[in-house]
Amino acid sequence: MGYTRSGIAEGPGSIQYLRLQRASSRSDIFPKLVAMQKNLKARNFAVFRIAGAGLPNKRKLISELDNWGVGTTEGSSQFIDGYGDVLLEHIEVSLLPLIWDGSENASFSDAGEFSPLTRRLEPSVVPFSGIAFPVRLGALGNGYVAFVSTSIDVSSDVVIDQHVRSCQVMMDLLALDERRTVPAESLSEREIACLQLAGDGRISEEIAENLGLSVHTVNAYLGSATIKLDSVNRIQAIAKAIRLGYIH
């Protein structure tokens, strides 16, 4: 997965990215966030989703998951009040992680090696320092994964790695949402097999030879799977089948 100064260059839109193992419930996501928190030497984390996308003056950050109620008096509402508007504007133009120093201390060094990979926010009344990783996955999957502490000291490699992991977390949440709305009619074994081979880059003729079917039958299976997954084409159906765990 590529990573540039403007953000993650090759990520959420690629089939290869979607092959990562997906969480089956929110309880699977929480330990991932705790592990990220430890890697960053942070005290707490929060995952924010952007609601009201596409509606003028209606966009807002909402907290999806957080542990800011554990060992701290600060909450996600205080963070949103302090930086919400700035974060909403930033994600429209950049995928650089955002860092900020709390009003009570300065934890990030101006000469830090990761400075070119981040954008520093202006000082705020928010008392805690932190870092927020923006993620763009489409209207329902845009948001931030944020970590706060009295001091966060990280290298450029850690910043990049945790940004990638933040994308995975947001992808997990999006997949869980889609799974709840997936049509009641499940995919058949043949439909799954055809989608799997198509996802591996096989064309219809190759899939037909591999499964001992006619090309017409393969296309019929792929077509029916696309309809069941409420997708507009085969590529979208493959991506959605990966997110929902039908194929890998």
pLDDT tens-digit profile of 30-41?
A: 889 999 998 888
Kindly state whether residues 111 and 234 are assigned to the same domain: no
pLDDT digits (tens, 9 = 90+) for 215-248: 999 999 999 998 888 788 899 899 888 888 888 8
Does any domain span residue 2?
A: no
- The confidence band for 5, taking pLDDT boundaries of 50, 70 and 90, is very low
DSSP code per residue over 15-71: HHHHTSPPPSSHHHHHHHHHHHHHHTT-SEEEEEEEESTTSTTT-EEEEEEE-TTSS
Task: Report d(CA 101, CA 34) in Å as an integer.
Answer: 22
Please check the confidence at residue 187 and state whether its pLDDT lies above 60. yes
Residue carrying the six token digits 């709840």: 180
Does any domain span residue 62?
A: yes
Kindly state whether residues 25 and 107 are assigned to the same domain: yes
Task: Report d(CA 173, CA 211) in Å as an integer.
Answer: 34
C-beta of residue 207 within 8 angstroms of C-beta of residue 238: no
Task: Report d(CA 23, CA 31) in Å as an integer.
Answer: 11
Least confident among 79-83, 177-181, 215-219, 239-243: 177-181
Domain of residue 128, residue span: 15-181
| CATH number for position 117 | 3.30.450.80
Please check the confidence at residue 134 and state whether its pLDDT lies above 60. yes
| CATH number for position 228 | 1.10.10.10
Kindly state whether residues 157 and 195 are assigned to the same domain: no
pLDDT of residue 24: 66
Kindly state whether residues 177 and 193 are assigned to the same domain: no
pLDDT of residue 63: 87
Kindly state whether residues 104 and 131 are assigned to the same domain: yes
